[in-house]
Amino acid sequence: MNQPATLKLRTEPPFAIGLVRKILPYLLAVVASFVAAGIFIAAMGFDVLHAYATILGTSFRTPNGFVQTLLKFVPLLLQALAFTVPLAAGKFNIGGEGQLIVGAIGATATGILLKGLPAPLLLPLVLIAGVAFGAFWGLIPGWLLYRYRVNEILSTVLLNFVSFQLLNYIATEVWGDSAAGHPTTIPIAAAGQLPMLIGNPPLNSGIILAVLVAAAVYIFTSRTVGGYELIATGANPRAAQVFGIDGRKLSLLALVLGGALAGLSGSIEVAGVQHRLIEGMQSNYLLLGIIIGLIAKGNNLAVPFVAFFIAVLEVGASAMQRTLMIPSEMVFIVEALVLLFVLLSDVIRRR
């Protein structure tokens, strides 16, 4: 008589164990990157432990260090989201730098031209102008892709150079501040500036806005039909088209959303930090935003945590350069190694 076949059920591991399994490879990748960079630091004749204590401790040792980290965190978070949202649709937005600048131009123009308005009107208009100008700068490559199939990488990169010239022209010829000694506009009206959460050291309320936007982006991409269609387009455009999803329109929408997020980072920089348009205000946010998006592997839930980690490294790099005379470029090596080891960890785990 045949024995009844036994049914083997596949049980899922507990939540905590599953979470550890997901996070552990990334933690090991970070540790490995620091070990590898430590070899370079030691070879240069510097104290590795002191260098890393400076990098990782500056953001938490003093209130000023923590505030500087939060101020760096805001544009990094929004720039990373400006990269990951189009990435979900399979498109690469390399124009976050230009979109930040154009968003800052829109915010500055609104804050100067409408300086007579009260704060309840002017401040929202300043922020909205930054978003609208950034979205328009994302619409251009989106339309070129949709209408003429121009590669978005090429068009977004080239538009960055156009934005540099726009900034220089406006900061020198239109609203230039002759006493600044550097391409800089006159300040926007006080009514268009973001209120402060704390005064000393100064921390503006832009961080609240950035976190809320990050939460909204996560909900949109993971909990809505539009977000599902966006991801489906990026995962398999042909299959998405079979099921009635217009991938070309969604690619256009993704680039516009990316531009809007980058433009918001520019308006927050103007309304909350600089209070004017300054040449060079985009810093290296584009490169770092791309690195953050790649380390997070396009996961918008992970982006804020990675952005904060990179902000800690950036603030610590400045302190390390001042106190230990170690080139701040060493932090770029650490960040590049983190990205490399994260990618390698995925390969090793699959094998």
- 94-147 tens-digit pLDDT: 999 999 999 999 999 999 999 999 999 999 999 999 999 999 999 999 999 999
Residue type, 121: L
Contact 295, 342 (CB under 8 A): yes
pLDDT digits (tens, 9 = 90+) for 253-305: 999 999 999 999 999 999 999 999 999 999 889 999 999 999 998 999 999 99
- pTM listed for this prediction: 0.92
More confident residue, 300 or 12: 300
Angle between helices 247-268 and 119-148 (to 10 degrees): 150
Q: Tell me the average pLDDT of the chain.
A: 91
Contact 79, 258 (CB under 8 A): no
Whole-angstrom Cα distance, residue 190 to residue 193?
5
Handedness of CA 297, 303, 309, 315 (dihedral sign): positive
Can you tell me the mean pLDDT for 199-216? Answer: 96
Whole-angstrom Cα distance, residue 198 to residue 260?
27
Q: How far is CA 318 from CA 35, 51, 202, 203, in A?
A: 20, 11, 19, 19
pLDDT bucket at 7, cuts 50 / 70 / 90: very low
pLDDT higher than threshold 90 for residue 228: yes
pLDDT bucket at 346, cuts 50 / 70 / 90: confident
Query: 81 burial class (0-12, 13-18, 19+ CB within 10 angstroms)?
Result: buried
pLDDT higher than threshold 90 for residue 322: no
Residue 335: how many other CB atoms lie within 10 Å: 22
Whole-angstrom Cα distance, residue 108 to residue 93?
24
Phi and psi at residue 197, to the nearest 5° = -80, -40
- Write out the two tokens for 345: 């960890």
pLDDT bucket at 25, cuts 50 / 70 / 90: confident
pLDDT bucket at 79, cuts 50 / 70 / 90: very high
pLDDT higher than threshold 80 for residue 6: no
Contact 213, 78 (CB under 8 A): yes
pLDDT bucket at 2, cuts 50 / 70 / 90: low
pLDDT bucket at 17, cuts 50 / 70 / 90: confident
Contact 78, 265 (CB under 8 A): yes
pLDDT bucket at 63, cuts 50 / 70 / 90: very high
